[in-house]
Structure 1
């Protein structure tokens, strides 16, 4: 008996793209078979296998083909070329609630979806209480789903999909539905599936979850399989894709810091905020900056509890005494979370002449929780006794903290727990 749960062989999906809607009609009616379209490969000759009991992640940027390949595996889409072989009953968490009838009650939709998945009424009877308990929407279970809030709708849809005891679970960004308590319940169910030895194919932008749960990871880029292997190794390659450093993906890790120093403009490799706020008299000017991870790579992505550096290059357009260099990290709502400056850290720079250049590096362990943050940089000081802003870059870029364990609040106390 084969130990392969999913086998994808030379899979391609091609779409025809038209510049104008009428071109589609022209092409279909053309007696000379004139082509008005161009081909777009959503997938191009992708092959991989998933063994029974494995948890395999698929990552990639938007448009890389992740959702397309899941839809082909689950039969929602047909491939243009290639083949897919599936051995086992699939439950797919793709478009939650897509098969729901808005006029039916929650209970009726449970039976409707169960029947569509191939279960008999007796089999659904045995599962319905678990589904209702997992969804936890109270008396609304007996009301038409058109009266549900969006949160209740996805809770019920998720509960139906995950409680049918599949042999293969396919998940596309579905573990983040509902409130934080329901998300915790979803992740627990996900972990239960792993312990039971079920096969899981998992697509997510949450690299922390991918690293935590997946035995192997497949990286797609522009419809092609770019890499496949151990989670950490493939995630490291993906981080390079995110900052256009793919050409370095096969290079040795040695001398990366020296490579960083040779780059003409660090921030060309960064994801910069087009709506950043910039001001100051520019007597001193921040001309470059970077976030550097524990491997010496310039990136917007930092792994929680790893050492990282925030680096800036400042040119002095006037003679300045005692400049202060600073950085601040905010959440997406604009709340200051943390930051420091050279004055607070008691690192002083004396008089700097016009034309001088300084590189300032703040190095620290990243203890913030996993999530998205914004970075601000500044160069200020006191001139004739007055506080002066020479140059500030507010919300200049994002910092994505990748974590497989988040605690309460903004940062992690990294508690050492002992139970005697």
Structure 2
């Protein structure tokens, strides 16, 4: 009888086979060389003036003067150093830390800003105004992306953020006009956003309709409905139905005069302050509470959550409703803070931008907040470019956030993975 011999174990391969992907080091290296050539060697000869504070601030600091070409070369060398550090870590079989691409992006954007300002007709820009304006424009995006976080963390894809923002903007304008109270309008906007989300929840959770299709249909429905009501109700009598009360800016004495961070943190409307509270509450709720553990369990493995006694579909329904209410508050920003009345398509596709910020932020409230700030920065810089007379087309800055999102989704800042059960309906049993 012949006995089978046990095969000898295959020796492990060389350690180089275990090295992480070269995607991050190569991407950082290419962008560094681009910065060195365009921002450095081909950079403008003028000096960029960066105003840190404004007249009347509690502390008036001198402006920062950066030579266009020399500053571009110095910043490009710093970028090359970070890229080299990423390559060094790769050679040792280690991944680049999460902070490295973020720090690289900050320096790259600052180098880009110096290049743009130094090449402008009036090479001067207010950093305080730029950042404060960026935050203001990012507020609706933050609320929209938080709505997406709450929905997708329980496994429901929320394509209807655009409709929730639009519904909140219309309702806020109408109710705040009729009641002459902006705060009542803010609450009504939250209710409108929640109502749109309930429709999404009922059809996608109870009737198992494809979540993407329901979201797209809701966007079209809300757009058509608000457009019809605007034309038939608001437009004929603007004073009676479309002159909403405003959410006043509430600066905190002394703190609002601090250069740069004062206008950002301490000179906001109630909705602006709510934005910071909402980001903190959603993050703590998702990652530090029992409720958040259940929510994430439903989004990752609904069968296991059901086995542990969690009502999967009820959790999904109420999370989607809560997300809609938050998005509705974001929509109210358009009519109660940014613009003084409602117009057709006032949200301007920002619901889809909030969805991109959600993906860029890797389904994390803080990540979505930072990604929204990037989009707000691009929006604000796009408008400032025309004021300072830069030859850079404003459309280029409008493209920048989307290019960054493509890099992020491609893995520049690490693998971007949604919750495992996202978009998958759950049928008990």
Name the structure where strand makes up a greater proportion of residues: 1
Asked if these proteins are the same fold (TM beyond 0.5), I'd say: no
Q: TM-score per shorter chain, which class? A: under 0.3
The structure where helix makes up a greater share of residues is: 2
TM-score, length basis structure 1: 0.24
Bigger Rg over Cα: 1
